[in-house]
Structure 1
Amino acid sequence: MGHFTIDFRDFLHNMDCIWVTENSYLLNHNDHVLRIYSNTQHHKINGSEILSFALKREYFNLDNPYIAISTGKKSRKRKLKMSSQEEEEKKCHKSLTERLITVATKTETLLRDINVRNMNYNVKTDSVKTCKGCSSIFKNLCFRQAFNIAQDTVTIPCDGSIHLDSSHVTDRIVSYNANHPRTVCIGGEYYLVPQKCTFLMSDASRLDPLLNLAHSKGGFDIIVIDSPWENKSAKRGRKYPWLSLGDIGKLPLQKLAKNSCIIMVWITNNPTIRRFVTNDLFKSNEIQYITEWHWLKITNTGRPVVDFASPHKKPYEILIIGSYRKVPQIEIVPKVFVSTPCSIHSHKPPLDDLLMQMNLDSPQCLEMFARNLKPQWTSWGNEVLELQNLKYFDNIEC
């Protein structure tokens, strides 16, 4: 096969994934972001302009695999006889690893043969990250114009400058119904808002607004859960607030899902968490297990980010899929999606094109424990706006 050069942005003009092999796809995370936030209306107190944004390129500068740090000492743990469940898990892991190695090899060959290069764009040097000059009086005025006192909701206007305080968008449903992205000033900093999105910024003890929204919609068709799982690293490093398995098990999924709702749960490679999801979370919520998808993490040259044989980390993450009460009419098969991971902690790749392949008719979609917003989705989490802050983005020239 001859070598030729393409640009991701040209190749993926209408979609953000390339078919690699059967039910396996190469995703371009940042190109997807650029498509969402090209032609963004940026409103300031003294005027507005049309800008385009992508995540900072430095977040995807991964040319070499991660280096595993060894202590030089081998563990001498006593080998115990594995249970039948552990034996089955080991067998499944071996089969999965073989498949992922095949996908990784084909992906590396694909990237080499077509010589895919990173997007080339010019970054504008002017900063639009923070807002200067908006007062508390002006914020309260904007809030009164956007606030629906009867429903305790906020509707972000399609046009015009709007400046809010963080308290204005906390513990209440906030919606934006325009067909174009825009910026909003919250607490003196600018945030990106994609088209037709809804969000609730709250902790798990204040879910009533989300439950009321779900009731008004007749429930959600797709629910993606990216739980902050408890683990030793999270406890020791305090990298993020985590929830116990018991707390996650209390999520009111049955009040959020409509019958045959597709439930998708991100998990770590910890067998205890897998068992909790399939044996406890799913069964207690009448969710039937369907299949699993796997995110294979690669470098920009197509190599897995860590060796498959690494005893500490794996180059993939798992998305367990089930359905609430009824099996959906569509067929959901195992898939592998491949991408260079964003260096922002736990920032998952976009699944939009893969979900579109399900051919659901205008599905109502919810992401739980979200840290960013998605077009035409409802997002909930106590950090739901975190990765919408313009400090994570480059203002670019398309």
Structure 2
Amino acid sequence: MNLGDSARFSNEGIKLLFWIFFFLLCSSQEARPFLVKAHEALVGATELRSLMLKMKGEVATAEDRKLAPPGVPPSFIELGRLWQAPLYEITLNFLQEKPTGDGGPSIIHSKEQQVIPIFDNLVHNGTKDDLEAEFLGSQYVIPRESCFYMSDLQQIHKMIPVKGDARFHLIVIDPPWENGSAQQKSRYPTLPNKYFLSLPVQQLAHRGGALVALWVTNREKLRNFVEKELFPAWGVKFLATFYWLKVKSDGSLICDLDLFHHKPYECILLGFCEKEGMDPRDLSRFSTVQDKRVLMSVPGDYSRKPPLEELLLEYIPGTKPARCVELFARDMRAGWYSWGNEPLHFQEMRYFQKRDADDV
């Protein structure tokens, strides 16, 4: 289980949101039978369901303790479209530890600030601790050893590392697919499918190859587009399909499996990006990816996805730790690159709670 927690901060929502129950099924039947079987396994795991309910109570208690945010966080999407976008800056607050000088264990924390452009710029926290950042009066958490590049789709090429061995072993992509539900809720702008054909997946992939994990809805038309047009355009070969089955904190499904317009699951299509001259041992590792795996978790805020790195780690080629990037990211993970037009969306301080020194 990966809770996505940071060193000095804990994400209270993630504690419940990303409780993952992973179930392996090797079946050639349609999705419904093995999704039902996986859910039955969760229902039978009484200790796990008890823990899920307990975690729900802890999250609710933590939420009650939080103060309301001082204002509405800025819309990165809207600000990024303004002509003034290159002028906006984010303040990074680095903590430095200094001994007190009396020989005792006490530590004095001094703050060093760095002010840099927030748009079309690689913002990097190279320290081994989380840091707090400020932008237009709102506070954000930048995870340890992570960075983000906030831009529109036209600027994505600027974040491709120059050296092939500095590129990525795992590429997670969560595109804003055209979706009537997303447009109706006005949560974020969507793009026509053809726009995603230009994503530089080959250029982002490590010279030793890369595992690609693509989030898709359960629409058959979209699946066909990915397998027949999108993956070939990216130079990606299809490997397997994983399913994210959404459940409530008591273990029940968020809705019936047989609803016509709304399904309680989404799909993750896995593929590999093969590079010329890659190690045959890394290539053979891709063949071990097992099809039709089901992960279950309690969904959180709209469009937020559970983390996948722990589930995919065994298949990622190359040396560890793996270099990972998420495209169209709306949050960040320690050690990862994040690109999108709002990668700080779920990094706003109200989603986090500071840990006590003993917990750290």
- TM-score band by shorter chain is 0.7 to 0.9
Quote the residue 2:340 is aligned against.
Answer: 381
Deviations 1:17-59 (A, max 9, x none): xxxxxxxxxxxxxxx14xx23x52xxxxxxxxxxx43234898
Normalising to structure 1: TM-score of the pair? 0.67
Q: Provide the C-alpha distance between the structure 2 equivalents of 1:295 and 1:395, rounded to a whole number of angstroms.
A: 30
Q: By how many angstroms is 1:396 displaced?
A: 6.2
The one-letter code of the counterpart of 1:341 is P
Check if 1:350 corresponds to 2:350. Answer: no
The one-letter code of the counterpart of 1:106 is A
For residue 320 of structure 1, give the secondary structure of its aligned residue in structure 2.
Answer: strand
Quote the residue 1:207 is aligned against.
Answer: 156
Q: By how many angstroms is 1:366 displaced?
A: 0.7
The one-letter code of the counterpart of 1:235 is Q
Check if 1:372 corresponds to 2:334. Answer: no
Q: Provide the C-alpha distance between the structure 1 equivalents of 2:241 and 2:134, rounded to a whole number of angstroms.
A: 39
- Change in CA separation of 1:356 and 1:125 when aligned onto 2, cut-off 3 Å: same
Check if 1:339 corresponds to 2:312. Answer: no
Q: Provide the C-alpha distance between the structure 1 equivalents of 2:181 and 2:138, rounded to a whole number of angstroms.
A: 31
CA RMSD of superposed structures (Å):
3.1
For residue 117 of structure 2, give the secondary structure of its aligned residue in structure 1.
Answer: helix
Q: Provide the C-alpha distance between the structure 1 equivalents of 2:151 and 2:316, rounded to a whole number of angstroms.
A: 31
Quote the residue 2:144 is aligned against.
Answer: 195
Q: Provide the C-alpha distance between the structure 1 equivalents of 2:69 and 2:114, rounded to a whole number of angstroms.
A: 15
CA contact (8 A) 1:164 1:187 kept: no
Q: Provide the C-alpha distance between the structure 2 equivalents of 1:365 and 1:346, rounded to a whole number of angstroms.
A: 20
Q: Provide the C-alpha distance between the structure 2 equivalents of 1:128 and 1:306, rounded to a whole number of angstroms.
A: 31
Q: Provide the C-alpha distance between the structure 2 equivalents of 1:310 and 1:289, rounded to a whole number of angstroms.
A: 28
Quote the residue 2:37 is aligned against.
Answer: 102
Quote the residue 2:170 is aligned against.
Answer: 222
Number of equivalenced pairs? 300
Q: By how many angstroms is 1:383 displaced?
A: 0.3
For residue 169 of structure 2, give the secondary structure of its aligned residue in structure 1.
Answer: strand
CA contact (8 A) 2:212 2:272 kept: yes
Q: By how many angstroms is 1:227 displaced?
A: 0.2
- Change in CA separation of 1:219 and 1:265 when aligned onto 2, cut-off 3 Å: same
Quote the residue 1:19 is aligned against.
Answer: none
CA contact (8 A) 1:128 1:190 kept: no
For residue 218 of structure 2, give the secondary structure of its aligned residue in structure 1.
Answer: coil
- Change in CA separation of 1:127 and 1:308 when aligned onto 2, cut-off 3 Å: closer
Which of 289, 292, 297 matches 2:238?
289
- Unmatched runs of 5 consecutive residues or more in structure 1: 1-14, 17-31, 41-51, 61-90, 132-153
Quote the residue 1:146 is aligned against.
Answer: none
- Change in CA separation of 1:56 and 1:115 when aligned onto 2, cut-off 3 Å: closer
Percent of aligned pairs sharing the same letter: 25
Check if 1:175 corresponds to 2:134. Answer: no
Q: Provide the C-alpha distance between the structure 2 equivalents of 1:346 and 1:214, rounded to a whole number of angstroms.
A: 31
Q: Provide the C-alpha distance between the structure 2 equivalents of 1:374 and 1:187, rounded to a whole number of angstroms.
A: 23
Alignment of 1:1-398 (within 5 A): 15-16=1-2, 32-33=3-4, 36-37=5-6, 39-40=7-8, 52-56=9-13, 95-111=30-46, 115-116=50-51, 117-119=53-55, 120=58, 123=62, 125=65, 127=67, 157=94, 159=96, 160-161=110-111, 168-211=117-160, 213=161, 215=163, 217-259=165-207, 260-325=209-274, 328-330=283-285, 331-334=288-291, 335-342=293-300, 344-358=301-315, 360=317, 361-362=319-320, 363-395=322-354
CA contact (8 A) 2:169 2:316 kept: no
Q: Provide the C-alpha distance between the structure 2 equivalents of 1:313 and 1:114, rounded to a whole number of angstroms.
A: 24
